[in-house]
Structure 1
Amino acid sequence: MPEDYYRAELLIIKRKVDPQNVNEKMGIHTLNLTPEQEHKLLVTGPEGSKTSTLDLIPDDQLHLSSAAQRLTRSGRFKVLALTGWYQAFPPDYAGNTMQVALGDWLEDAGHREVEGTITIDRQRYLHVNVTLNHWYSPESGHEFLAGPLPMATIDQAASGDSPEPDTTRQPAEVIRETDRQQAAASVAGERSGPPALRTDPALKPAAELLTWIRETRRMRSKEVHYLDSPTIGVLVYFSPIEPRDE
């Protein structure tokens, strides 16, 4: 077994949120789709076939499996992917950019609703870069709730503490709280600014950009980390694997 060996786990989720209750206002931009990548974390094809260049571990062996089950049972989230694999991450490791394509197939646009890349590097600590786009097509069917949920709901699912949600609050109030949490996360979570968008007013896309995640986060092992936008989120967990005595 190599040194600096880890079990890496990623849980990618989608909130069941009506696009009308998302105030990011990103639909005015035309953003190019992620180019095809040699390395694939998990890519779902048009017919539903799944491709990964990793040797993935069965879901029931993953630490994040229980969080995925709790989020699903809540009825407020859809699990898009639960993945895990073993890999060595030595110091100064530069990881491969891994392609992601998940969620509903947007027929008119010809791609999945969530697509982008995830990259794992290591300096002194592990660093995870998440670049995901969440697209919306008015022609596609979606499951919606009244508004986005506070980040605390995700934290409760990861920790196993899941009290009943507060159903008395109005959607606008919940959205404002999400905005405040996003602002706090940009400071505490070392969130990087968004890249420049490439726009062409002559093009009318078949799908509109709803939200995105653009974040690089330094991560400690044996801790659940959460990166999010108002509509999608990524939970990350690393478990160091101790070498066995020969």
Structure 2
Amino acid sequence: MTQQTSAGATPLQAQCSWPALRLAGIVLTASLSAIPSGLYAQGVTGTPPDDYYRAEFVILQRLVDPAGIAEQMSDKGADTADTTGKALWVEDSNGSRRSDLNLVPRQQLHLGEAANRLERSGNYRVLATAAWYEAFPPNYKGQPLLVAIGDWLPEAGQRSVEGTITVDRQRYLHVNVSLNHWAQGESPAPEQPAPEATTAPGTQAGMLPSESGTPPAAAQQAELALAAYQPTKAPVELITWIRETRRMRSEEIHFIDSPTIGVLVFFKKIEG
């Protein structure tokens, strides 16, 4: 099955667009091997349940001019973000974060130092760092975890990076990343005033059509015009997206990306 990242790019092409990040992953792999196994279970008391893992995600934005991206996606549509799942990391217009998971502080993440190095490079911006403990038994079907991060697009009323991350398990853990990276579109056309609720000919205000003798169709047409009216909303343009499912092994670091956004993923099984 072919893995897909952003439209028009193969996984190899997408990975090669982030050479510095791939190098950071190699360095991080070496540093993780030196961490005592007991440190992975910080915050876990008693004997952990079977198939208990620590899951970590770092979502990044590459600081690059969207105009320089070879893949022009402004004319492509994208699925509207699902808003019915649990919140992994959702920020509102004021920057307040909501999560339905018991997240580990950023300074305790094993991917934290890699995130710090990437930020210090000046080429990347860390949008979210999320880690939590959860049991993922065989045949586990995860609920989509909502993501809404990045710049606030005031005219569109949303964050620039929205989508879901889902964790499933068959024989191995599988992570499905579905994220859209948006930018504010051009200014909308002047908003048209709402149609006035006029009284149908031959109908007095406060009277039903049947009482005045006016054909019901005339009144219904006016009501439908009012119901169909919606103020013009500022458009958003799609820059890139990620659509990829990756098989995971414990203690492996994976990077799933598009030319402008990426997700570092790490799982560690907690042994009793």
TM-score normalized by structure 2? 0.64
Q: Paired residue for 2:266?
A: 237
Q: What amino acid is aligned across from residue 101 of structure 1 in structure 2?
A: A
Alignment of 1:168-187 (within 5 A): none
Which of structures 1 and 2 has the bigger CA Rg?
2
Whole-Å separation in 2 of the counterparts to 1:139 and 1:62: 39
Whole-Å separation in 2 of the counterparts to 1:60 and 1:210: 31
Whole-Å separation in 1 of the counterparts to 2:76 and 2:186: 19
Tell me by how many angstroms 1:205 deviates. Answer: 5.6
Residue 40 of structure 1 pairs with residue 82 of structure 2? no
Residue 4 of structure 1 pairs with residue 51 of structure 2? yes
Per the alignment, in what secondary structure is the counterpart of residue 60 of structure 1?
helix
Q: What amino acid is aligned across from residue 97 of structure 1 in structure 2?
A: P
Tell me by how many angstroms 1:137 deviates. Answer: 1.6
Asked if 2 retains the 8 angstrom alpha-carbon contact of 1:119 and 1:129, the reply is yes
Number of equivalent positions: 181
Aligned-residue Cα RMSD (Å) equals 1.7
Alignment of 1:4-153 (within 5 A): 4-137=51-184
Whole-Å separation in 1 of the counterparts to 2:136 and 2:82: 25
Asked if 1 retains the 8 angstrom alpha-carbon contact of 2:155 and 2:233, the reply is no
Asked if 1 retains the 8 angstrom alpha-carbon contact of 2:72 and 2:239, the reply is yes
Tell me by how many angstroms 1:63 deviates. Answer: 0.7
Deviation string, structure 1 residues 124-169 (Cα, Å, up to 9, x no partner): 11000000000012579xxxxxxxxxxxxxxxxxxxxxxxxxxxxx
Whole-Å separation in 2 of the counterparts to 1:101 and 1:123: 28
Tell me by how many angstroms 1:223 deviates. Answer: 1.1
Whole-Å separation in 2 of the counterparts to 1:46 and 1:35: 18
Residues 58 and 204 of structure 1, relative CA distance in 2, 3 Å threshold = closer
Task: Show structure 1 runs of 4+ deviating over 4 A.
Answer: none
TM-score normalized by structure 1? 0.71
Residue 221 of structure 1 pairs with residue 250 of structure 2? yes
Whole-Å separation in 2 of the counterparts to 1:39 and 1:102: 15
Gaps of 5+ in 1: 141-202
Q: What amino acid is aligned across from residue 266 of structure 2 in structure 1?
A: Y
Whole-Å separation in 2 of the counterparts to 1:61 and 1:212: 29
Q: Paired residue for 2:240?
A: 211
Gaps of 5+ in 2: 1-47, 188-231
Per the alignment, in what secondary structure is the counterpart of residue 47 of structure 1?
coil
